[in-house]
Amino acid sequence: MSWFLSFGGVDDTQFTPPFRPTQASPFPPPHPNASLKMTFEGYTRWKPFVRVWEVLPSGELRYRNPGMQSPNMDTPRSFLQYLKPLPGLRIGYAKAAPGSPPEVLFQTRPLLDEMQKTPLCQP
């Protein structure tokens, strides 16, 4: 599972396939990091999580899944347990610089309702 985020201004949102090593380029290209603050909101407000995202060449941000290239210990799937009781996800830069985009609030209740109506996997 991958999380992508855009604060706007991204023209090309097409799928970027995962990196596949070749003889000429055995390592993935380095992308800069951005620390984002994620706050889950609902009937109460949860303590913010600060996690590292990578800034893609398109301007989109992708959550860095746990691994050798990431200091994050949580997978995106582990955050889904917070969305049922706290269906609002507020994301912004952990240390916003002047000119940084403002925090964005995602209301995930419609997505969660649709996921319950339609099974994600068919046996």
pLDDT tens-digit series, residues 22-32: 999 998 888 89
pLDDT at 82 over 90: no
pTM: 0.77
13 vs 10: CA distance, rounded Å: 7
The pLDDT value given to residue 123: 54
110 vs 99: CA distance, rounded Å: 31
Cβ distance 103 to 91 under 8 Å?
Answer: yes
Cβ distance 107 to 87 under 8 Å?
Answer: yes
List of residues 6+ apart from 76 with CB closer than 8 A: 1, 2, 3, 63, 65
88 vs 110: CA distance, rounded Å: 11
Which of the residue ranges 53-57, 89-93, 108-112 would you say has the lowest mean pLDDT? 108-112
